[in-house]
């Protein structure tokens, strides 16, 4: 086995096929940092950071400036001792997306050296997963049209973004449900509701006979009490996303009995915390989904291999690479939406 020779960062920009609209934010492109880790034996591992100021308070410029300090910290270390590298990268807790990218690049380089896929290094629990696809906030007509297209393309798990207009949100979900019978729905408010609005939203849909698989992050990230209030007054499972970043957040959510689901995103936690969160949530007999920010196929590769390796997730919200204009698919997985397979 060989030591790390150098780590390089490259800023890359990807345009969305159509503007991606969530509560309080509209994105036309994703600006990511691709991380390449090279070993002395010539192996290369790839990772990607997709920073979110809205969620993590990260900026590309600040993350890019970490290249020299991370090289100083890690050059000369053995990739096979990846847990040592994970521990050092945990010190970058304020920069979780770059932490994730470097940690994954380490696993990827180790994978190349021993010729074993990363998902098998992480356990090889599954060989394929089913992903959802997202309907972003738009007019009711456009949201319904997008949902029907997603359904006709074979997806049976549809994620619907809401949170800016309660009345319109209810109408959109109702109309989507009429035309996509048999699908499962993840409805994500991205912190857009008050606790009372979230409960009203859920109860109105329930009264209309619409079943949601998950109501995700209905209230502000810091409103743990509000999240618990929604959970105990909602007919559907309630999940945390923006409230669930580190393993310490998850410990608090578990102790408070505030949620039914935790949404792990490697961009929020890194590989190391994500591994801990999986075991914590399983021990608490709660459920997991895995999500993404604005990763290209290089970044989604990280989450696909993590999900395949651990086999821990009920829902796989890993569609960002499908929403971006990318010249070449570069993931180390087989992309046959709605199924992703290990290779």
Tell me the pLDDT tens digit for each residue of 227-258. 999 999 999 999 999 999 999 999 999 999 99
Q: What percent of the chain has pLDDT over 90?
A: 99
Q: What are the angstrom distances between the C-alpha of 317 and each of 44, 114, 131, 178, 228?
A: 27, 30, 6, 22, 23
Strands 214-216 and 184-188: parallel
Mean pLDDT for 90-116 is 97
What confidence tier does 1 reach under pLDDT thresholds 50, 70, 90? low
What confidence tier does 172 reach under pLDDT thresholds 50, 70, 90? very high
Mean pLDDT for 12-36 is 96
Spatial CA neighbour of 157 closest among 313, 324, 329: 313
Annotated catalytic residue 265? yes
Mean pLDDT for 279-288 is 98
Confirm or deny that 216 is annotated as ligand binding: yes
> Is the pLDDT assigned to residue 185 strictly greater than 70?
yes
The Cα 195–Cα 220 span in angstroms is 9
Q: Which of 161, 245, 268, 332 is catalytic?
A: 161
Is residue 297 packed enough to be buried (19+ CB in 10 Å), middle (13-18) or exposed (0-12)? buried
> Is the pLDDT assigned to residue 199 strictly greater than 90?
yes
Specify whether the CB–CB gap between 307 and 318 falls below 8 A: yes
In this predicted model, what pLDDT tens digit does every residue of 288-340 receive, in sequence order? 999 999 999 999 999 999 999 999 999 999 999 999 999 999 999 999 999 99
Question: Per this entry, what is the length of the chain?
Answer: 343
Q: Which of 99, 228, 245, 265 is catalytic?
A: 265
Confirm or deny that 188 is annotated as ligand binding: yes
> Is the pLDDT assigned to residue 42 strictly greater than 90?
yes
The Cα 333–Cα 329 span in angstroms is 10
Cβ contacts of residue 294 below 8 Å, gap of 6+?
14, 20, 27, 30, 32, 50, 52, 320, 324
> Is the pLDDT assigned to residue 205 strictly greater than 70?
yes
pLDDT of residue 290: 98
Confirm or deny that 197 is annotated as ligand binding: no
Spatial CA neighbour of 306 closest among 124, 157, 92, 55: 124
Mean pLDDT for 120-141 is 98
Spatial CA neighbour of 19 closest among 11, 28, 10: 28
Strand residue runs (E) in the chain: 4-22, 25-39, 44-49, 128-130, 133-135, 157-161, 184-188, 214-216, 238-240, 261-264, 287-290, 315-316, 333-336, 339-342
Mean pLDDT for 43-55 is 96
pLDDT of residue 2: 86
> Is the pLDDT assigned to residue 74 strictly greater than 70?
yes
Specify whether the CB–CB gap between 159 and 135 falls below 8 A: yes
Strand order, beta sheet including 333-336: 128-130, 339-342, 333-336
First CA to last CA distance, the chain: 23
- Kindly list the structural domains of the chain, giving each domain's residue range(s) and its CATH number in brackets, ordered by start: 4-115 (3.30.390.10), 121-342 (3.20.20.120)
Mean pLDDT for 15-37 is 96
The Cα 292–Cα 216 span in angstroms is 14
> Is the pLDDT assigned to residue 59 strictly greater than 70?
yes
DSSP letter, residue 216? E
Annotated catalytic residue 255? no
The Cα 110–Cα 81 span in angstroms is 9
Using CA atoms of 64, 65, 67, 71 in order, give the dihedral in degrees to the nearest 10: -160
């Amino acid at each position: 086995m060989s030591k790390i020779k150098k780590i390089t960062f490259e800023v890359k920009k990807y345009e969305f096929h159509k503007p991606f609209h969530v509560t309080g934010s509209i994105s036309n492109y994703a600006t990511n940092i691709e991380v390449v880790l090279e070993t002395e034996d010539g192996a290369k591992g790839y990772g990607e950071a997709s920073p979110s100021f809205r969620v993590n308070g990260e900026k590309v410029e600040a993350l890019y400036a970490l290249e020299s300090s991370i090289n100083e910290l890690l050059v000369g270390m053995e990739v096979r001792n990846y847990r040592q590298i994970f521990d050092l990268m945990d010190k970058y807790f304020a920069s979780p997306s770059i932490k994730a990218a470097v940690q994954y690049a380490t696993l990827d380089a180790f994978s190349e050296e021993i010729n074993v896929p990363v998902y098998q290094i992480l356990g090889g629990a599954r060989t394929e997963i089913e992903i959802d696809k997202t309907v972003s906030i738009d007019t009711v007509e456009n949201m319904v049209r997008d949902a029907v297209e997603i359904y006709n393309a074979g997806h049976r798990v549809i994620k619907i973004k809401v949170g800016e207009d309660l009345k319109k949100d209810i109408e959109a979900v109702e109309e989507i449900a009429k035309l996509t019978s048999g699908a499962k729905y993840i409805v994500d408010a991205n912190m857009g509701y008050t606790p009372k609005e979230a409960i009203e939203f859920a109860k109105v849909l329930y009264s209309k006979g619409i079943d949601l698989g998950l109501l995700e992050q209905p209230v502000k990230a810091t409103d743990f009490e509000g999240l618990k209030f929604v959970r105990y007054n909602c007919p559907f499972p309630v999940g945390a996303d923006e409230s669930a970043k580190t393993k310490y957040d998850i410990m608090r959510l578990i102790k408070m009995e505030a949620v039914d689901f935790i949404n792990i995103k490697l961009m929020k936690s890194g590989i190391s915390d994500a591994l801990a969160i999986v075991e914590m949530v399983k021990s608490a007999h709660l459920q997991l989904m895995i999500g993404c920010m604005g990763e290209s196929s290089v970044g989604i590769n990280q989450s696909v291999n993590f999900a395949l390796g651990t086999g821990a997730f009920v829902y796989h919200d890993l569609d960002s690479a499908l929403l971006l204009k990318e010249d070449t698919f570069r993931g180390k997985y087989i992309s046959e939406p709605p199924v992703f397979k290990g290779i």
